[in-house]
Structure 1
Amino acid sequence: MLTTLVVILATAAAEPLPNTQIEALPKSAALPGDTPAKIALGRLLFFDPILSATRDVACATCHHPQHGWADARPTPLGVHASGIGPARRLVKGAVFVPLTRNTPTILNAAFNGIESGKPFDPSQSPMFWDNRVHSLEAQALVPIRQSEEMRGEVCSEADSVSAMVQRLKNIPKYLRLFQTEITAEKVTQAIAAYERTLIAPDTPFDRFMRGDKTAMTAEQQQGMAAFQKAGCALCHNGPMLSDFKLHAIGLTDSATNRTEFRTPSLRNLKHTAPYMHHGGSTTLDEVLLFYDRL
C-alpha cells in the first residue's frame, strides 16, 4: 500500500498544474488558403443535404444558426426525420435509431484545442465529446459515414464518402464551383474554411479581457471572480474556456459505457441549451447544481 501511495504522489507531482488563465479569443481563425470562393463553396456544401446518402440531412440540420449552430435538442435526429431543432420529428414509418450525445455547437469550433501561451495547430483540434478525431476537416466526414446521422441504409460505411463525391460530380453547378477534380479532401477543406468564419470573438467578455473595462457589467465581473475562486477555471480555461481534456464526472454513455468526456466550452452558452454530453440539463442552474453535488 505504501508503494502504491508513493507512486500516486510521484505521478501527481510530475504533472504540471493546470493553467487557469482565461482570455479573449483571437479575432480570426482563417488560414492562408481560405479564399472567398472556397468559403462560399463551403457554405453551400454545409447547407446542402446532397452530402447525405439519403439526401435529406445537411450539416446545418444539426448545426443550425437559429439554434446557436447546434439543434436545441437533448440528442439529435439524423436520417428519416424532418424539421429543424426541437421541432424535428421522425417521418411516418421510420425506425428510431437514437443518437446518444448532445450536438455540440460548431460556433468557435475552429478554435478547439487552443491553449493560453501555446502555439495553436488547427490540424490537431479535438472534435466530438470523446476527442476521437482531430481537425474540422476530419470531423466533416464522420457524420457522412454514420448510418444514424447522414448515411442511413443507402450504402455501406466503406462506400459512403466515395458515393458522396459521386453525387457532387453529378451536379453541374458543383463541377463548375470546384473548378478542378472533386475529391473528399477538397470537400472537407471547403467546409472547414466556411466553419472557420463561424466565430464570435467580440463578445463583452472578449472586449473586457482586451482592456475595455466597461464591456462587462459589475454583476458579470462579480460572476467571473466567483467562477475563478470556485475553481471552475481548473477545467474551463484558456480562450475557449475549456482544457479540451477528457474527465469522468459520474455520467456514463449508455451506448459505449464511456465515463470520460471532454470539457465543453462555456462560450455562447445562452444559445446552446440543453447541456452536458447527454443533453440532460435544460438550464445552467441545473448544471451548476450538478457540479455543486459532486
Structure 2
Amino acid sequence: MRLLRLWPDESHFDFMRLRRLSFPLSAFISVATVVLFLQIGLNFGIDFKGGTLVELRPKPGVTSDVGAVRHTANDFGFGETEVQELGQGSISVRFPLQAGGETGQTLVMQKAHAAFDKDYAFDRVETVGPRVSGELVQSGTIGVVLSVVAVLLYLWFRFERELALGAIVGTLHDIVITVGLFVITRIEFNMTSIAAILTIVGYSLNETVVVFDRTRELMRRYKTMPTEELLNLSINSTMSRTVMTAMSTALSLLALVLFGGEAIKGFSVVMLAGVVICTYSAIFVSTPFLIYIGLQAGGRSQARDTSSLKQAAE
C-alpha cells in the first residue's frame, strides 16, 4: 500500500534562490509593524483596559439591532462605548472604565439591565477594575519577556553560534509578524492573545530545530558542499515532515475558527496565521540568514577536528 506523500521524497527545489524576495518582504512587514504599533497600537481587550463587557442575545421573536444598541449605550453618558455584532445575532457591548471603582461599574450594569432586559438576554458579563487590569498588564508582559528570553537562551546553547543566530532571528521575526497581525486586523488583544503568542513561539522553535538539526547533520557529512546547496538539501529532506505538521495543525485550528465560537475565535485565527508564519520563517528567513552570516559547511566541525588532533599530538 502506497503511503500518502504531501511532498516528493527526492525533491531538489531551490529555496535559497527565493531569499532575494523573502528577505525584503519580511523586512518591509517588520518595519511596517513597528511603525503601526507605535502609531496605532493594539486593540486591548477588557483584561488590559478595564471596564465592563456585556454580551447580549436577542430573545425569541426579537431581531437584534446593532445601531439601536449602540445609540442607547452611548446615551448612557459613560463615554465612548464599543458595540460589535457577534454570530447568531448576539451583540457585544464594552463600556469604558468608570470613576468610582465598583460603584461606577455597578451603575453601568444597572442602566444596561434597565435598557436591554426587555429585548435581550445577558449571556456574559465581565467587569475588570483598574487595579486588576494593571496587574494583568504587568504579569502578561513579564511572562512574555521571560518566556522569549528562555527560548533564545535555549537556542543559543542548543546550536553552534551561526545556527543559534539564525534561529533567534527567525523566532523574533515570528513574534513581530504576529504582533503586526494584531495591529492590522484589530483583533482584541487580551490574556488569550498572550497564550497565542507563546504557543506560536513554541511552534516556531519546533520548526527551526527540525530544520537546523538536519543542517548540522549534513554539515558534518558533506564538509565541502557549497552552503546554498547544503541548506537546500536540509530543507528538502525535512519538507515532508514540515508539510505534514503544518497541514494537520492548520486543519485542527480551522475547525476551531469555524466551529469554536466567538470566545476563542481570535485565538484560533491568530494561531492559524501563526502556523503559516512559522513555516514560512523556518524556510525563507532563518535558513537563508545563515548564508548572510557566512556559514561554512563543515567549517566549525573541521576546526574542532583540528583542535582535537593538536591535543592528541601534544
* Short-chain TM bin: under 0.3
* TM-score normalised by structure 2 residue count: 0.25
Q: Which has the larger radius of gyration?
A: 2
* TM-score normalised by structure 1 residue count: 0.26
